[in-house]
Structure 1
Amino acid sequence: MLLLVPADPLRPTRPDEHFAAEARAARDAGVTVAVVDHDALARGGAVDRAVGRVPEDDDAVYRGWMLRAEHYAGFASALARRGVGLRTGAEQYRRAHELPGWWADLAAVTPESVWTEGPGRAGFDEARRELGAGAAVLRDYTKSVKHHWHEAAYIPDLADAEAAWAVAARFLELRDDEFTGGFVLRRFEEFTGSEVRTWWVGGECVLTGPHPDSPHDVVGSPSLEVVAPVVGKAGLPFVTVDFALRADGAWRVVELGDGQVSDRPVTMVPEALVAALFAV
């Protein structure tokens, strides 16, 4: 089994510094580590060269920066030409990485959501009317800009068409070329406390800890009764599920993401994640 990580752009034979600790932990555990050219993969070109340092004829797990689903598919195909199989296939990656791929399965425990195809105003207005009046949170298929909360994430009332579109226009401006799929409007729910990130391998929750945005916070233990069967049945090999406690005391799913491109909080030792990943 291989661990694949992005190469340092300035020292292309070495792991990117952000993933170097996980690479060292994997090597110490006897796992072979290889680097890939993330920038080439993210451009969608020269993919065979991007994986040229990967040993042939093995199975692999990726831990690295986000890739668009279509670029991940190109990554998987280039590896397959070397006889290397990614534990997470291209279709599995898209389902985990993009909200429309996982929302319906978790609808009972996550905010109501509607989405568009593309960034057009007409589709946005149709989705806005479908969700109905009230507050909402805006994102695209893969990401929000929550650090620009009032200008590009939070919509106080979807019934105010012009004010809602002003938020969407600012969101588009900030996301720019990284805008993915379409707009996603999510019913606003008031959360308290810090988010909890849970890590799942082979349908089993293997680690629970803080979200990378608040790595030093003490977090609670969300209820997994509803989520566990869904993750188990979905056939998603490696995912994260982020939870937050709603003001009424209910644990809610904020996000499901592909674990390969989910950040690890600095307070989680890399050995713990490596051990969970390669124990299966």
Structure 2
Amino acid sequence: MLLVPGDPSEPRRVDPHFAAEADAARALGVPVAVVDHTAREHPEDMVAAVPAGDDAVYRGWPMTIAEYATFAKVLDARRVTLRTSPDDYRLAQDRTRWPKALRAVVVDSADGPLLRTWWIGGRCLQLSAGIDLVEIEPVITDLALPFVTADLVRRADGAWRIAALTDGQISAWPVSRDPADLLAGLF
């Protein structure tokens, strides 16, 4: 199941920012449920429209680590399991918890243009031709996270380095790309 935020002015409707992804999921036969972000202070109300008993991927607005843990807990009470556990979300969001091998390929500042890459189950979803991820791929694979994005930058010597890594659930999918590519990879 795909979980997407509701429109703030009409919380039972899909937020327009995520409507194309919701439509792509439905076209693939993936159930879609709306999460009411206006009810964040009442987590049970936030997930009231989510049907019970399914595995789920969230695609929506960022949450703090604590908010995500609460979100997962109230979904679990409905027998809905997020594919990205609270521990996985924490690891993707908290750079201090990254293993040494990952920190070795991360740059502190990026001077050049960034290339966003999408990783599902440790595999890059789509990659432009000519990009060599020989040092990056094993490190991201070893993280064993279900869904992340890595923003890459090319050093002067041609090596690619990670400028940022975050949970893929909260990374904006480019409007220039077909959301069905992302949803097909996830489901």
Is this contact kept in 2: 1:102–1:256, CA < 8 A? no
Please identify runs of 4+ aligned residues in structure 1 that moved more than 4 A. none
Higher relative contact order (CA 8 A, sep 6+): 2
Moved more, 97-106 or 224-233: 97-106
Gaps of 5+ in 2: none
Is this contact kept in 2: 1:222–1:243, CA < 8 A? no
Residues 58, 14 of structure 1: CA spacing in aligned structure 2 closer, same or farther, 3 A cutoff? Answer: same
Which structure has the greater CA radius of gyration?
Answer: 1
* TM-score normalised to structure 1 length: 0.63
Give me the whole-angstrom Cα distance separating, in 2, the residues matched to 1:26 and 1:37. Answer: 19
Q: How does 1:6-155 map to 2 (within 5 A)?
A: 6-41=5-40, 45-102=41-98, 104-111=100-107
User: Which residue of 202, 219, 239 maps to 2:148?
Assistant: 239
TM-fit CA distance, 1:250: 2.2
Deviations 1:167-210 (A, max 9, x none): xxxxxxxxxxxxxxxxxxx3x45x33x2111111111111236x
Give me the whole-angstrom Cα distance separating, in 1, the residues matched to 2:131 and 2:165. Answer: 14
* Aligned match of 2:115: 196
User: Which residue of 158, 165, 171 maps to 1:256?
Assistant: 165
Is this contact kept in 1: 2:136–2:161, CA < 8 A? no
Gaps of 5+ in 1: 112-185, 210-219
Query: Does the residue aligned with 2:78 lie in a helix, a strand or coil?
Result: coil
Query: Does the residue aligned with 2:56 lie in a helix, a strand or coil?
Result: strand
Residues 91, 221 of structure 1: CA spacing in aligned structure 2 closer, same or farther, 3 A cutoff? Answer: farther
Aligned identity (percent) is 48
Is 2:183 the partner of 1:274?
yes
Equivalenced residues, count: 187
Is this contact kept in 1: 2:4–2:33, CA < 8 A? yes
* TM-score normalised to structure 2 length: 0.93
Give me the whole-angstrom Cα distance separating, in 2, the residues matched to 1:101 and 1:237. Answer: 16
